[in-house]
């Protein structure tokens, strides 16, 4: 049997990029996958990819920056075995030019969305005595970049939540981990980070960008029982950038 057979998973921001790839790989591993995001057309494309791969997927529209949407999403999905907090935004700005709105939006999506969706879904996991939560953070949590201060801080906050929740819910058999990607070839990252993306890629040990599937494999590992003794960890998947 497949390693996630019979499991139910929810992936936020699964309408593109890394989230879409995570949704497909979880389905390939046997999970029924709830795909959430803001754009229904793109969400349905992800579901079609899941079905092409022989899996089962459902799309639920939800903006994780909207607390009503977060609560409705949790209600509609009900209980899950695997929660992947992947939705994220990465607008860049020099600190003196940072707008209050953009600062707020980064924390609303990356941190508050992750926080309250997890808060809504974790009680059912505790009741069942099992569950795996994976936060998609970033190497940005541990490296400085000249124009990403708010994003970097938001990802460090996600890793702090990972460690806190691992401690808070470990007694109930729930594992909580982060995956910290390096430069991954998604449209949003390549276009959004521009030169910085190339600079970071050149400094990886492997001298190449990563593919979304390489992050998805790390997430499937953490979601599955193969990672049964792994919790509170940040799994860096960055081609050796941080090590270099």
Q: What is the rounded CA–CA span in Å between residue 175 and residue 12?
A: 18
Q: Least separation, in Å, of the C-beta of 22 and ligand NAD? A: 9
Q: Does 88 bind ligand NAD (CB under 6 A)?
A: yes
Structure tokens at 153: 């801080």
Q: What's CA 145's distance to the chain center, in Å?
A: 21
Contact map string, positions 214 to 243, toward ligand NAD, x by CB under 6 A:
------------------------------
Q: Which is nearer to ligand NAD, 38 or 130 (CB)?
A: 38
DSSP secondary structure, 88-126, as one string: -------GGG--HHHHHHHIIIIIIIHHHHHHHHHHHHH
Annotated catalytic residue 115: no
Secondary structure (3-state) at 241:
coil
Q: Least separation, in Å, of the C-beta of 147 and ligand NAD? A: 15
Question: Is residue 87 within 8 Å of residue 19, measured between CB atoms?
Answer: yes
Structure tokens at 195: 């030169």
Structure tokens at 66: 């909207």
Question: Is residue 93 within 8 Å of residue 145, measured between CB atoms?
Answer: no
Q: Which is nearer to ligand NAD, 202 or 225 (CB)?
A: 202
Q: What is the rounded CA–CA span in Å between residue 213 and residue 155?
A: 21
Q: What is the rounded CA–CA span in Å between residue 71 and residue 199?
A: 40
Ranges within 5-34 binding ligand NAD (CB under 6 A): 12-13, 15-19
- Only one of the segments 2-10, 92-100, 186-194, 229-237 lies at the binding site for ligand NAD (rule: CB under 6 A); that segment is 186-194
Q: Least separation, in Å, of the C-beta of 171 and ligand NAD? A: 28
- Which of 118, 186, 204, 224: binder of ligand NAD (CB under 6 A)? 186
Q: Does 86 bind ligand NAD (CB under 6 A)?
A: yes
Catalytic residue among 103, 151, 229, 241: 151
Q: Which is nearer to ligand NAD, 30 or 209 (CB)?
A: 209
Q: Does 188 bind ligand NAD (CB under 6 A)?
A: yes
With residues binned 3-state (H G I as helix, E B as strand, rest as coil), the percentages for the chain, rounded to 5, are: 50, 15, 30
Contact map string, positions 36 to 65, toward ligand NAD, x by CB under 6 A:
-xx------------------------xxx
Question: Is residue 13 within 8 Å of residue 86, measured between CB atoms?
Answer: yes
Residues with a catalytic annotation lie at 151
Which residues are at the interface with ligand NAD (CB under 6 A)? 12-13, 15-19, 37-38, 63-65, 86-90, 109, 136, 138, 181, 183-184, 186, 188-189
């Amino acid at each position: 049997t497949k390693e996630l057979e019979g499991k139910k998973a929810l992936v936020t921001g699964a309408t593109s990029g890394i989230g879409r790839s995570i949704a497909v790989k979880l389905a390939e591993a046997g999970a029924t996958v709830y795909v959430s995001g803001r754009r229904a057309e793109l969400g349905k494309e992800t579901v079609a990819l899941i079905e092409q791969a022989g899996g089962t997927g459902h799309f639920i529209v939800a903006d994780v920056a909207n607390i009503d949407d977060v609560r409705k999403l949790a209600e509609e999905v009900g209980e899950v075995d695997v929660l992947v907090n992947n939705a994220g935004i990465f607008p860049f700005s020099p600190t003196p030019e940072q707008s209050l709105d953009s600062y707020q939006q980064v924390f609303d999506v990356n941190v508050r969305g992750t926080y309250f969706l997890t808060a809504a879904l974790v009680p059912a996991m505790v009741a069942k005595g099992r569950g795996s939560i994976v936060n998609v953070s970033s190497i940005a949590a541990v490296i400085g970049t000249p124009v990403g201060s708010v994003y970097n801080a938001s990802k460090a906050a996600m890793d702090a939540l990972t460690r806190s929740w691992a401690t808070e819910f470990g007694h109930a058999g729930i594992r909580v981990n982060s995956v910290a990607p390096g430069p991954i070839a998604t449209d949003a990252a390549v276009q959004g980070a521009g030169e910085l993306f190339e600079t970071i890629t050149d400094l990886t040990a492997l001298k190449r960008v990563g593919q979304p599937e390489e992050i998805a494999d790390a997430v499937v590992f953490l979601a599955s029982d193969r990672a049964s003794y792994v919790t509170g960890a940040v799994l860096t998947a960055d081609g050796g950038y941080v090590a270099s």
